């Protein structure tokens, strides 16, 4: 299968020996190559300072990338041809002459140039300046990984500096949750079917939950995480982006600015949180030692790189409101955390019960009608409704209709990074975060960050392997509801 866009590309990967490149970026490019989705003339340029030669870099790739692409058996022929695409340039960011070497090394390579910065955010601006100094900011796209800044001020500083070198339409701020198949299907579900759109509003929706839960702790990222926390790491980007997708109005079309304009309207309509009310609508927690799947795991404060007296949150639960006609009065509950009971990312739309039931109290129970969009680990959409149990009498039971993508569609699903990298190469911006979206998210999050920084109260403790602090459940109970896993 030949790529529909065979104009060629040069994909330059900074941080080419880093963990993100090994686990996500290069495996995604390999899958696109194996599936025939990359232009035959396209090249991948690894940029790092750790290896001296191309052969040494390819050895590193063989050792560190293969384990992430061979889950279903590695196609050795495809792998060998993929390695032929790879060029290596040794580069020290502190040496201006090394960027001249990079420019000369890719001068004859084909097509649009994509510069992917899989590095720490402190290097974004120096790399962009160095690229511009040798003329590599022309006919180019730049991909920025999160976190893009520590707060609104630092985010604006990075965006201002990068924006002086690259135009906004050249900048791809990546959020891999937007590339997940069920998120794309959420758009199809809402805007491609007459069934749901009339119900997707305050008159019929009682509440919405968005959860991103992880079983893992901070692992080897203690130094980074202790200066970041769950609110910056997950809420400001992933959760608010998912919220904007769920709540947005139908766009004029699916072009990049139409979609992002509607997401921006949602972010700007978020009800500002009064600092005096933060304790009522925001819960922060920190995991302590506990047991996950039979294994004893340490508490956050004893993790490598974490300060023993750290007040960094590893769990956040929020009650969010959107001040517009579609969603006024509907609570959105957002939750994320580490060392929780399960690894799951899902969106739960709880529809209102029928106003009157001749079929008994079961039909009036909250949660009788529900849509669950599972993003991970298995990607499914499940619609819950009530049906009569077989036998005598009118006894109702909850049943569900499933769309399991891996069972319904014969072709394999595309991983989020694969979709997003192909979009970068082909110049599609719809699934990337525009600067004004990012600013709106930071403006909404900052009062919470500031209040938590000023309070002497530590995060609420929770045992590893649970679903977080009890205060998270209590917050929902005040609204007559509970988290999905608590219903059983």
Q: Residues 144-187: pLDDT tens digits? A: 988 788 999 999 999 999 999 999 999 999 999 899 888 888 88
Residue 152 is assigned to a ligand binding site? no
431 assigned to some structural domain: no
Do residue 377 and residue 319 come from a single domain?
A: yes
Which among 50, 64, 68, 238 is annotated as catalytic? 238
Check whether 427 has a pLDDT greater than 80: yes
285 domain residue, yes or no: yes
Whether 159 is covered by a domain: the verdict is: no
Q: 238 catalytic, yes or no?
A: yes
pLDDT for 292-307, tens place per residue?
998 999 999 999 999 9
**Residue 103, domain CATH:** 3.40.50.720
Residues 119 and 231 in one domain: no
Annotated ligand binding at 365? The verdict is no
The response to whether 233 counts as a known ligand-binding position is yes
Instruction: State whether 209 and 109 are in the same domain.
Output: no
| The pLDDT of residue 327 | 98
Whether residue 264 lies inside any domain: the answer is no
| pLDDT tens-place string over residues 30-55 | 999 999 999 999 999 999 988 779 99
Q: Is residue 409 predicted with pLDDT exceeding 90?
A: no
- Is residue 398 located within the same domain as residue 475? yes
Please tell me whether 400 is known to bind a ligand.
no
- Please write the tens of the pLDDT for every residue from 446-464: 999 999 999 888 999 999 9
Model-level pTM?
Answer: 0.91
- What would the mean pLDDT of 232-245 be, rounded to a whole number? 95
Q: What is the CATH number of the domain that holds 448?
A: 3.30.360.10
Lowest mean pLDDT among 115-119, 276-280, 384-388: 384-388
The larger pLDDT score, comparing residue 42 to residue 394, is at 42
The distance of Cα 113 from the centroid of its chain, to the nearest Å, equals: 25
Total residue length of the chain = 488
The answer to the question of whether 176 is labelled as a binding residue is yes
Number of domains in the chain: 2
Tokens describing residue 334: 């957002």
Residue 265 forms part of a structural domain: no
Q: Check whether 364 has a pLDDT greater than 60.
A: no
Same domain, 54 and 195: no
Provide the residue range defining the domain that includes 229.
Answer: 178-235+274-417+436-487
14 in any annotated domain: yes
Assign 488 a pLDDT band (cuts: 50, 70, 90). low
């Amino acid at each position: 299968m030949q790529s529909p866009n065979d104009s060629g590309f040069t994909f330059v990967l900074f941080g080419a020996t880093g963990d993100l490149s090994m686990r996500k970026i290069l495996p995604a490019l390999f899958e696109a190559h194996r599936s025939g989705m990359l232009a035959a003339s396209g090249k991948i340029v690894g940029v790092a300072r750790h290896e001296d030669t191309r052969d040494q870099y390819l050895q590193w790739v063989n050792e560190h990338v293969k384990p992430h692409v061979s889950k279903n058996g590695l196609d050795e022929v495809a792998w060998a041809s993929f390695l032929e695409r790879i060029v290596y340039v040794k580069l020290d960011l502190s040496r201006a002459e090394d960027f001249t070497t990079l420019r000369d090394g890719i001068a004859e390579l084909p097509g649009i140039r994509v510069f992917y910065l899989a590095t720490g955010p402190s290097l974004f601006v120096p790399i962009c300046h160095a690229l511009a100094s040798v003329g590599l900011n022309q006919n180019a796209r730049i991909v920025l990984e999160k976190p893009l800044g520590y707060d609104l001020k630092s985010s604006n500083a990075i965006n201002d500096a990068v924006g002086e070198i690259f135009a906004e339409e050249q900048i791809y701020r990546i959020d891999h949750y937007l590339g997940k198949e069920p998120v794309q299907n959420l758009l199809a579900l809402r805007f491609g079917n007459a069934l749901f759109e009339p119900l997707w509003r305050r008159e019929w929706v009682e509440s919405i939950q968005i959860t991103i839960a992880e079983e893992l702790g901070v692992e080897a990222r203690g130094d980074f995480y202790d200066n970041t926390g769950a609110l910056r790491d997950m809420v400001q980007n992933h959760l608010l982006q998912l919220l904007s997708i769920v709540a947005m109005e139908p766009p004029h079309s699916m072009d990049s600015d139409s979609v992002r304009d509607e997401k921006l309207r949602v972010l700007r309509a978020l009800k500002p949180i009064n600092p005096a009310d933060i304790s009522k609508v925001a819960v922060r927690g920190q995991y302590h030692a506990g047991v996950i799947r039979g294994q004893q795991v340490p508490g956050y404060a004893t993790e490598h790189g974490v300060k023993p007296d750290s007040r960094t949150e590893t769990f956040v639960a929020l009650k969010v409101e959107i001040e517009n006609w579609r969603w006024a009065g509907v609570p959105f509950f957002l939750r994320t955390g580490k060392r929780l009971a399960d690894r799951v990312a899902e969106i739960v739309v709880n529809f209102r019960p029928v106003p009157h039931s001749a079929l008994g109290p079961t039909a009036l129970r909250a949660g009788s009608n529900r849509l669950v969009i599972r993003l991970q680990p298995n990607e499914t959409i499940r619609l819950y409704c009530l049906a009569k149990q077989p036998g005598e009498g009118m006894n109702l039971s909850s049943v569900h209709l499933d769309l399991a993508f891996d069972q319904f569609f014969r072709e394999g699903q595309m991983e989020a990074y694969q979709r997003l990298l192909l979009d970068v190469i082909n110049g599609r911006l719809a699934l990337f975060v525009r600067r004004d979206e990012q600013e709106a998210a930071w403006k909404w999050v900052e009062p919470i960050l500031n209040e938590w920084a000023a309070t002497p109260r530590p995060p609420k403790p929770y045992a590893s392997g649970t679903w977080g602090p009890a205060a998270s459940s209590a917050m929902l109970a005040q609204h007559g509801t509970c988290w999905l896993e608590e219903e059983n």
